[in-house]
């Protein structure tokens, strides 16, 4: 059961340096591919990215998850800090807002906080509730420019 | 590469090209766990999920969102994407390699259509509703994205 006193809590800020190799690895994972040569060139090839009008290689749309988990203290300690029961946990919603491009070598500074915690009665089981925890992350780069905003809704069924 | 797409050439009601994934396997899920850093045992350890009465591991919702994102960026240039949000409405079990009948439940089909054209932040933008379902029709994700078009 999520610990409702954690509403408003901020996790320790993190800094994560975006690496070319991680962008490629992540692109291969979401593209269900075995090698770099099989994914969209702008995720793996600097020249191809520039030719397509990008400053350099860019990550695929859901890459924020990667620095949120590898840059922070990790998913399991975060869930533990929130008192969330792993056996009941579901990912409810995820939303990204893209504010500026991200390239290899950029440093992502992430600040994550718990913005909402609430219960909803289960439709099929009156009296029983599902618990919702909403987490927001603001990410800025090494120049202090906002690059991405992410909102995650976790559900305990 | 996607071909050049402009705001004027897109109309409300236009469909995004349908995208069909490879059937999701345990190997895809393990690869995604390593890439993303999401090591919740729900997604790789069958002895863990059995404690909760589940017959097999399930995919990360974020892998299915990643596949959905790939469908979107096969159509819209990455640099035009402004927002991308989803609601997870169903779990995805991987294909069991010893059971060809399990292929359809692990195959993700992404569809979408343009629902709005508008101006925001000095840009011409479109909003599309999207859905990811398995090949049997069970819905995994509903959501939307916003793109700015030239």
pLDDT at A124: 87
Cα nearest neighbour of B60 on chain A: A91
How far apart CA B119 and CA B104 sit, in angstroms, is: 40
pLDDT at B2: 47
pLDDT in tens, A40-86: 999 999 999 999 999 999 999 999 998 888 888 888 888 889 998 88
Cα nearest neighbour of B49 on chain A: A87
How far apart CA B41 and CA A118 sit, in angstroms, is: 26
CB A114 within 8 A of CB A7: yes
Tell me the three state secondary structure of residue B116.
strand
Beta-strand pair B139-148/B81-88: antiparallel
How far apart CA B83 and CA A99 sit, in angstroms, is: 9
Q: How many residues does chain A have?
A: 157
pLDDT at A3: 86
pLDDT in tens, B24-65: 999 999 999 999 999 999 999 999 999 989 999 999 999 999
Domains of chain B: 7-23+60-148 (3.10.129.10)
ipTM confidence: 0.95
CB B95 within 8 A of CB B102: yes
Q: Testing the interface with A: which of B25, B30, B35 to mutate, by most A Cβ within 10 A?
A: B35
Q: Chain B within 8 Å of A29 (Cβ-Cβ)?
A: yes
Q: pLDDT band for position B15 (50/70/90)?
A: very high
Is the CB of A61 less than 8 angstroms away from the CB of B62? no
How far apart CA B71 and CA B130 sit, in angstroms, is: 10
pLDDT at B1: 45
* Residues B89-93, mean pLDDT to the nearest whole number: 96
- Chain B CB contacts of A23 under 8 Å are none
pLDDT in tens, B101-136: 999 999 999 999 999 999 999 999 999 999 999 999
Please check the confidence at residue A31 and state whether its pLDDT lies above 70.
yes
- Could you tell me where in chain A the CATH 3.10.129.10 domains are found? 4-18+69-156
Residue A54's Cα: distance from chain center in Å? 22
pLDDT in tens, A73-110: 888 888 889 998 888 889 999 999 999 999 999 999 99
Average pLDDT value over all residues in chain A: 94
Considering the domain delimited by A4-18+69-156, tell me its CATH architecture: Roll (3.10)
How far apart CA B55 and CA B10 sit, in angstroms, is: 45
Beta-strand pair B139-148/A89-98: unpaired
How far apart CA B149 and CA B135 sit, in angstroms, is: 31
Facing residues of B126 across strands?
A: B117, B147
Alpha helices, DSSP H, located in B18-82 = 26-36, 46-49, 61-75
- Chain A CB contacts of B150 under 8 Å are none
pLDDT at B3: 57
A74: left (phi over 0), alpha (psi -120 to 50) or beta: left
Please check the confidence at residue A133 and state whether its pLDDT lies above 50.
yes
Nearest-CA distance B83 → chain A (Å): 4
- Chain A CB contacts of B91 under 8 Å are 90
Please check the confidence at residue A122 and state whether its pLDDT lies above 80.
yes
């Amino acid at each position: 059961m999520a610990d409702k006193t954690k509403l408003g809590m901020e996790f320790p800020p993190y800094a994560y340096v975006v690496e070319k190799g991680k962008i490629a690895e992540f692109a291969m994972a979401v593209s269900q591919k075995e090698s770099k040569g099989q994914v969209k060139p702008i995720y793996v090839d600097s020249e191809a990215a520039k030719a397509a009008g990008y400053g350099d290689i860019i990550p695929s749309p859901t890459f924020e998850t990667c620095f949120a988990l590898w840059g922070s203290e990790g998913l399991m300690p975060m869930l533990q800090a929130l008192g969330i029961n792993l056996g009941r946990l579901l990912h409810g919603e995820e939303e990204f807002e893209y504010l500026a491009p991200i390239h290899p070598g950029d440093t992502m500074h992430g600040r994550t906080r718990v913005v909402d915690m609430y219960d909803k009665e289960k439709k099929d089981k009156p009296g029983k509730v599902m618990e919702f925890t909403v987490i927001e992350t603001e990410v800025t780069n090494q120049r202090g420019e906002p690059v991405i905003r992410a909102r995650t809704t976790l559900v305990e069924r | 590469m996607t071909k050049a797409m402009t705001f004027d050439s897109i109309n409300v009601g236009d469909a995004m090209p349908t995208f069909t994934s490879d059937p999701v396997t345990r190997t895809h899920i393990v690869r995604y766990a390593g890439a993303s850093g999401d090591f919740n045992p729900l997604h790789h350890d069958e002895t863990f999920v059995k404690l909760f009465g589940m017959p097999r591991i399930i995919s990360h919702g974020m892998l299915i969102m990643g596949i959905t994102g790939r469908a979107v960026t096969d159509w819209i240039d990455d640099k035009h994407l402004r927002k991308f949000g989803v609601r997870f409405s169903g779990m995805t079990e991987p294909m069991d390699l010893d059971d060809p009948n399990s292929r359809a439940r692990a195959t993700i089909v992404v569809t979408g259509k343009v629902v709005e054209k508008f101006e925001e932040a000095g840009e011409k933008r479109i909003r599309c509703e999207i859905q990811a379902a398995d090949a049997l029709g069970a819905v995994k994700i509903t959501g939307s994205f916003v793109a700015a078009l030239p």
